[in-house]
Each structure stands twice: as C-alpha cells, then as structure tokens.
Structure 1
C-alpha cells in the first residue's frame, strides 16, 4: 500500500516539470492529474469485490506487478501528453484495487489488535506513501539529472521489492466456492443511516482537500521568483501529508472519546479543519508567499488525515465480514470523487480568480459540516 501510494503521488512535483517541458495549461495539467480518478473507480469497485470472493493475496500480487507497468508507461510521457494520460489512468486502476484490497486485508490482519487499529494502520501506510513520493521525486527533479526518468526508477525498485515480499504474507480470506452469491453493487452494509449521514458526505473531502496542495497551491500560491521550483511542490505535498499522518491517531482517539456519536463529532472536526484550510489557501493565492502556502498545506493535510481515518473507521464499523472489501471500495470511490474539486477551481479561476474559487470551496465544506452535524442530531447512528 505504501509503495502504490508512493507511485500515485510521485507525479505531483513532476507535473511542474511537464508544465514547463510540454507547455501544459492549468486546466490541462489538472486534467492529467485527475484522469487518475477515472482509473480508480473500476479499480476500486472490481478490486474490493473480487478480493471478497477470491482472496486478498493473489490479487495484490497481480496489481503490484501492474504498478511496475504503470510507471513504465509514465516514463513515456516525456515524449508527449498521451503517455501521461495513459500512465496516470493505469496508475489509478492499480491504486484503486490496491487501496481497497489492502485496507480490507490490513483490517483482517489486525483482528487481534486494539479497536480501530486496522483503519489507522491502513491510513498511515497510504499517507506515508503519498507523502514520500512527492518528497523524493521533487528532490530528484530539482537536483538530479534526467528529471523525467530518474524519479520513476525509484518507484520501480520499490514496486519490485513489494512484489517479492507479498507472496509471504498470510491470506485472510480464502476463495469462496464458484457458486457463491454475487455481491450487489451497493453492499447491504451501506444502506444504513450511519453510512449515509457520515461516510457519504465526508468522503469527497478526503482528497478534495489535500489535492489542492498538489495542484492549486504550487501553481498559484508561490511567488513567481520562488527558489526550488520543482522541489518545493514536493515539500508542500510532503508537509501536508505529514500533518495528515500526525493527526490520525488523535482523530481515532477523538472518535472513541465522543462515544456513540463519535463518527459525527470527529467528522465535524475534520470538515471544520478543511474549511479553515480552504480559507487560508484562498488568502495564499491572493497574496502568494512561502509561509502562507505552507500554512494552507498543513491545514488541508490535517483535514485530509482526519477525514480519512474517521471515514475508514466508520466504513469498517458498518461492514459485514463478507462485504468488507466492497464497503471499503465504495468509501474510496467517494473519497476520490473529491478529485473534481481542484479541477473545478481551475475551470472557475479564469472568471472569478483563484481566491474566490477557493472561498467557494470553503463554503461548500462548511455546508457539508452543517449537514453532517444536523443529520447526527436528527438520528444518532446505531452502535455496531
């Protein structure tokens, strides 16, 4: 999971390289980044459901191998945009499958650990990969030769190591008989009020928040004469994801302390942090500066971390054992729907400006916060 998360986000600082070498516009750069989401959806849905029926380990090995292929395709992007689109799409397919299968697998491997340990371990593995990828790729793009090749070689090595190690991990879900009932598209576990009132509105803000750090802030919140034009976007992303990792244990404890309505309360805190982060990001794009950009990145990263660990915890709490992979996959589908946020900002910015577009995003996050809290007061979620 760490390796595939690394591969997904190694592209963040390299997008700055491609803006320069391929002459990408804001909308085109955001589209190249976001086509990843089109691959995620089939990867998430097919991966989670298939692993519920056929086991976790074999499918993870297959997608670890495909991760190598995806990065090899991205290397061809130095010769034209089609290679970037194809590589990012395939990276999305791999990421969707690995995140849904891996999260379910880690939860099952954590059965004897403290409550919530599975969600926390999965969230930390992803966040470490998401943060490590842009940090290392940005440094290599800034100071090493061949910035459109060398950063990808690091991921190829990591993926090869993961591919060697995976077959030794224990299987937790033996394959079912061929005649087993086919799982519905929307698992029964997701039809209750707890999923609809907390997980559904919270999900899109997981990545709807932090992807602003990957796309909007590097392009519009840094001074035009800022040093380290390739390394700094990676540093911003790494700082955001480090903040996300740091708040996850606290978010899990908050979820527990708040008791029966813990999901609503902890989700409300996460959405409040996202709202403030968007407001600070609006200020950073109005008056670009390194400190304001860093402050926005840390807040948006913290909001991401809280929303991720609370959303995963709630999804795993409602899931029946036979539907765990499918429920986790549905949560990630909701989370990655948030990739539309930076694209909408890029579309709106030419007309209203980036600060006003980000104020609109802050308003949407605040409205989501109100809706989650109101839904929680109307009918407390049942205990599971």
Structure 2
C-alpha cells in the first residue's frame, strides 16, 4: 500500500530545475503538507509504546504513567480549538510553522524525561499541541490542496482520505521506531526523540514552499472573534458526530495504550515488543482500511460512524477476554478490530465535517471534531484511577455498555435526516 494517492495530478506545482531538467514535476501540493502532518503525528504517538518502559525503569505508578498518556489531551484540545480558527484568519502556513516548533520542543523535553516526570508531562503537553495543529490546520490544508485548482483530478473524498492516512501512518511510524529502540536499541529514553527531531526539521523548509490557501480569509476585528465556529452548533454535528467521535480514540487508548500494562504476566520481558506490535497493528489496519472507508460513509445515514462505534465496542469486548485469559493473541486481535473502527471513524468523521463546515470555518470545525475525538485518550487515566475501587474488567464492561448507548443515539439521530441550520 502506498502512503499517498499516486493518480495523475494535473493541478500540482511544476518546477524548472537546472539539475532536474525543465520537465521534471515537483511533488503535488498536498503531498508537501502530507509529509508535515506525518512527521507531527509521529511525535504525538511515539510515546505510547514506552509506557511500560517508564513504569518498569522509573518505577512510576500506573496512575502517573497513564497520566502521561492523558495529559497529551490537555495540550491537544486547546490547540485544536484555537489553531484552526487562527489559521482561517491568518493563513495556514504560520500556524503550521508554530506546530513544527512545538514538535521540536516537545521531543526535546521528552528526551530529558529520565531526569524527572515533569519533563515528560510538559513534553507531552507540547506533543499534544503539535498534533492539535496538525489535525486542525494540516488536515484542512491538505483538503484544500486536494481540490481544484491545485488538484482538479481528486474526488470529493480525497482530502479526508489523505489527511487521515497522514495521521495514522505517522502515528504508526513513531510508535514502531520508539518501541523497537526501547526493546533493543541504545539510550531508549533519548534516541527515539532525537530521531523525531531529525525527521521534523526538514519540514520547516518544505512547509514554507507550500501554497497558502487561507491568507487573510477570516473575520476582521479582534482575533478571538474567529474562535466562534458557527457550524459547531449544526444539529447533525452535535447529535451524531460529537456522540460518536470520542470512541475513535477510546478504542486506541485502551487497545494499545492500556492493554499492554494488563498483560504483563503473558508478555514478560517482551512487554515493549507487544506494546509496539499492538500500536502498529491498530494503526496499520486503520491505514490499510481507510481507502475503502469512504465507500461505507453516508451523508444521510451516518452508517460509517455507527459501524465505527460497533467495532470499537466489539474490540473492547475482546480486550476484556484477553485480560481474563492473559492472551497475547487475543490482545492483538482486539487491536485489529479497533483498527478497523479507527479507519472508518476518522474518514467518516472528516467527511461529515467537510460537508457541514462553512467556507470560513473548515479548520475550526475540524479542530472541534478532533478535540472531541481525542477526549477518548483520557480513558486509560480514568480507568487506572477507578481500578483502585473496581476490577478493570468490570470498568471495561461499563465502557462497552456506554458504547452501545452511543451507537443507538447515532442511529436514532442520523435517521431523522437532520436539516442544515
């Protein structure tokens, strides 16, 4: 599977280079941003397979370790909500540049994580902000560059598909590199983050060359006026998308963030390998399935989001069974199911957003969607805290029940064919 669409791109930028010849074409405009979103997503997820390492080597408590995973949302949500709206007003490029700066700072702080948990906490905040910018601004920019005049050959779903692939493949690559180094490589608490910094730095130049699509497109007056996102009150967004979106990353956080800590007895010294494999399996399946996910999406029935919730619920059921049986293979099977759900949910969610959003608040509504979706990453911290009072499997069973309730609400709301407000 290729990471990007290889169809002819007649709307792409062309270059004349003395070294390459007058007929050599540059990469498509959207591909410049695709790589940047890939690198920024890499930084957001490289920490996930390292949770066991910090718990074992630094002797951090399970609650603190899962707080490292959850604090990411505290950096991500404000960035999602603010960065998209600011880029609608001031242009995509300066906000994406700020996101790249945040990526370098975040990985730099995480590289000093061995000195104390405060470096990990603050580093994760910056990593969250980085992914917030990538999701709200980078995805909107990719979508805008995946249509005329930049790419007149792309279909309506190309922007959502390319953006979601950049996220999932970048997340998977970051987890794979970090996990393999943690298990077998040198200085595992430092090297993964230095590699990410090296991957990120070239994109300062690449993003600077990308064509701007939203310069001076926002409202006049105080900047905070742009934070208002009219389409966020659209009834279909509130009653369908907001209900379904958190389950995308509840599944991810439980499947490859929390589950490895519950299978220590089965994985033994190979815990980091399992954590890495679980992450790569979930994100790999998600990436592979996304090109097909657009065929499932329906603007009237929301069947894509409804199916996603069902798959996440099914994956959580398999997680429960894998914990009870202490089965590595069931754990991987759970992440396969969760990966299918993630792939459908990301593409369907973005297509819903791109249908609902007005011409001036696409990035802002994309940011709201991801903020709601990423709230699911708080699940492991909540589970770890409640696990002091109740069995983990009982807590996960309640979570499955809540997913079923959400599925029913999505079906009921979408069948009303909610009109545009």
Scaled to the shorter chain, the TM-score interval is over 0.9
Counterpart for residue 268 of structure 2: 226
1:261 matches 2:285: no
Counterpart for residue 114 of structure 1: 155
Gap regions ≥5 residues in structure 2: 1-36
Distance in 2 between residues matched to 1:287 and 1:342, nearest whole Å: 20
* Residues 1:117 and 1:381: Cα distance change in structure 2 (over 3 Å): farther
More helix by share: 1
Distance in 1 between residues matched to 2:407 and 2:279, nearest whole Å: 25
1:187 matches 2:229: yes
Please, which of 388, 407, 418 is the counterpart of residue 350 of structure 1? 388
Structure 2 counterparts to residues 269-308 of structure 1, below 5 A: 269-308=307-346
Please, which of 339, 353, 362 is the counterpart of residue 324 of structure 1? 362
1:5 matches 2:41: yes
- What TM-score do the two structures reach when normalised by structure 1? 0.94
Equivalent position SS for 2:215:
coil
**Runs of 4+ with deviation above 6 angstroms:** none
1:179-210, Cα deviation, whole Å (9 max, x unpaired) = 35754544211222221222110111121111
1:362 matches 2:400: yes
Distance in 2 between residues matched to 1:247 and 1:328, nearest whole Å: 21
1:52 matches 2:88: yes
Question: Would the aligned equivalents of 2:86 and 2:227 in 1 still touch at CA under 8 Å?
Answer: no
Q: CA RMSD in A?
A: 1.8
Aligned length: 379
Please, which of 150, 170, 175 is the counterpart of residue 211 of structure 2? 170
* Residues 1:154 and 1:370: Cα distance change in structure 2 (over 3 Å): same
1:153 matches 2:190: no
Counterpart for residue 381 of structure 1: 418
Question: Would the aligned equivalents of 2:44 and 2:130 in 1 still touch at CA under 8 Å?
Answer: no
- 184-193 or 10-19: bigger deviation: 184-193
Deviation at 1:69, TM superposition (A): 1.2
1:310 matches 2:348: yes
Please, which of 227, 237, 240 is the counterpart of residue 282 of structure 2? 240
Distance in 1 between residues matched to 2:53 and 2:387, nearest whole Å: 22
Question: Would the aligned equivalents of 1:13 and 1:137 in 2 still touch at CA under 8 Å?
Answer: yes
Distance in 1 between residues matched to 2:39 and 2:120, nearest whole Å: 19
Question: Would the aligned equivalents of 2:218 and 2:360 in 1 still touch at CA under 8 Å?
Answer: no
- 30-39 or 180-189: bigger deviation: 180-189
Gap regions ≥5 residues in structure 1: none
Distance in 1 between residues matched to 2:282 and 2:146, nearest whole Å: 27
Equivalent position SS for 2:202:
helix
Equivalent position SS for 1:321:
coil
Question: Would the aligned equivalents of 1:52 and 1:325 in 2 still touch at CA under 8 Å?
Answer: yes
